[in-house]
C-alpha cells in the first residue's frame, strides 16, 4: 500500500487541499502547513490532484522545479511539477505585467525558458530526451511567479512544495525564440529587482538541462494519468534562481538577443 493510500490519509489529503485552495481563492496567508506534512511525492501529488479538482479553473501549462540534491535520494526524483491555471497566465505587453501576490504569503520572480508542446502520444509512459525534444513545437522566454499562501513553503521541503501546486502563482509568456535549438545555450539571462542585478546565468544553470525538464514533465504527467495535450506550456526551471520579492517590487528579466519581460508585484487583494 502506498503512503498516499494509507488508512485515514485520504481525509487528511482532501482537507489540506481544501485549505490551500480556500486560501488561494480568498488571497489569505496560512500561518503553517494546514495538516500533516507530506513526506513522499506520492502523498504530495495526491494532495495536488485533490486541489486541482477543487480549483475552479482550467490548466494551461505546468511548471517544473528542481528538488535540492540533499532531498533527491529520499524523494526519489530530481524535479517536481505544478499546474499553471488560466487566471494566472499572462502574455507580455508594452506595460509591466502585474503579478498578484498573497499578502503574508510567498512570492518570487523566476526567469525561465518555456516550451510549447506539439502533438504527443498520450498512451506513452516512457520518454527519452530525444523524443521529448522532438515534441517541442516552440520555445519562449518567460517569467514564473512562484507563489503560495504559505510563506515558509520553500523551507519545508520539496514534497510540501509539490503539494501546493508546486508553489506556482502564475506564468508570464514572452516572445518566441527563433531557431531556439541552435540559440538556447548562448542566451544570457539577467534578472533585476528594483533596478539591482540579482542573478545572471544561462540555460546551463538548469541541472541536466532545459530539455530534461520537458522530458520529465511529459513522462511524469503521463504516469499520473494527465497526459499533455497539444499547446501545453512547460516552464522549465529558474535560470538565475528563485528571487523572493515583496509587494511593490519591480522586476526585469532580460534574455540576451531575444527580449525583456517587465513585471510589478501587486497585492492579490486589489
- Tell me, letter by letter, the H, E, C secondary structure of 210-255: HHHHHHHHHHHHHHCCCCCCCCCEEECCCCCCCEECCCCCEEEEEE
Distance from C-alpha of 162 to C-alpha of 45, rounded to nearest angstrom: 7
- CA dihedral sign, ordered 199, 96, 167, 204: negative
pLDDT of residue 2: 38
Mean pLDDT by 10 residues, the chain (270 residues): 46 94 98 96 98 97 98 98 98 93 98 97 96 98 98 98 98 98 97 98 96 98 96 98 97 98 92
Report the Cα 198 to chain-centroid distance in Å: 20
pLDDT of residue 93: 84
Residue boundaries of the structural domains of the chain:
60-267
Q: Would you identify the CATH topology of the domain 60-267?
A: Fumarylacetoacetate hydrolase; domain 2 (3.90.850)
Whether the CB-CB separation of 112 and 237 falls below 8 Å is answered with yes
Q: CB within 8 A of 120, min separation 6: which ones?
A: 135, 218, 227, 228, 229, 230
pLDDT of residue 270: 62
C-alpha cell of 101? 501576490
In the chain, % helix, strand, coil (3-state, to 5) comes to 30, 35, 35
The CA-based diameter of the chain, rounded to the nearest angstrom, is 55
pLDDT of residue 9: 56
Kindly report the number of other CB atoms within 10 A of residue 58's CB atom.
Answer: 10
Point out which residues pair with 253 in neighbouring strands: 191, 261
pLDDT of residue 269: 81
By DSSP bridging, strand 106-117 and strand 259-267 are unpaired
Amino acid at each position: 500500500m502506498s503512503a498516499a493510500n494509507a488508512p485515514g490519509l485520504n481525509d487528511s489529503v482532501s482537507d489540506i487541499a481544501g485549505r490551500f485552495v480556500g486560501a488561494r481563492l480568498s488571497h489569505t496567508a496560512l500561518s503553517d502547513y494546514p495538516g500533516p506534512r507530506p513526506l513522499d511525492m506520492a502523498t504530495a501529488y495526491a494532495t495536488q490532484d485533490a486541489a486541482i479538482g477543487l480549483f475552479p479553473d482550467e490548466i494551461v501549462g505546468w511548471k517544473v522545479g528542481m528538488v535540492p540534491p540533499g532531498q533527491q535520494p529520499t524523494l526519489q526524483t530530481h524535479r517536481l511539477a505544478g499546474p499553471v491555471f488560466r487566471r494566472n497566465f499572462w502574455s507580455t505587453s508594452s506595460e509591466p505585467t502585474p503579478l498578484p501576490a498573497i499578502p503574508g504569503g510567498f512570492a518570487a520572480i523566476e526567469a525561465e525558458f518555456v516550451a510549447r508542446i506539439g502533438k504527443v502520444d498520450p498512451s506513452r509512459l516512457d520518454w527519452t530526451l530525444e523524443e521529448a525534444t522532438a515534441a517541442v513545437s516552440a520555445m519562449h522566454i518567460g517569467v514564473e511567479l512562484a507563489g503560495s499562501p504559505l510563506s515558509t513553503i520553500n523551507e519545508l521541503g520539496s514534497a510540501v512544495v509539490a503539494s501546493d501546486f508546486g508553489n506556482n502563482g502564475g506564468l508570464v509568456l514572452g516572445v518566441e525564440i527563433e531557431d531556439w535549438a541552435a540559440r538556447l545555450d548562448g542566451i544570457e539571462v539577467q534578472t533585476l529587482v528594483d533596478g539591482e542585478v540579482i542573478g545572471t546565468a544561462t540555460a546551463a544553470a538548469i541541472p541536466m538541462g532545459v530539455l530534461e525538464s520537458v522530458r520529465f514533465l511529459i513522462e511524469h504527467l503521463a504516469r499520473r494519468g494527465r497526459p499533455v495535450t497539444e499547446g501545453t506550456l512547460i516552464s522549465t526551471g529558474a535560470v538565475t534562481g528563485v528571487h523572493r520579492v515583496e509587494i511593490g517590487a519591480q522586476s526585469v528579466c532580460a534574455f540576451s538577443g531575444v527580449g525583456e519581460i517587465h513585471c510589478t508585484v501587486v497585492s492579490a487583494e486589489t
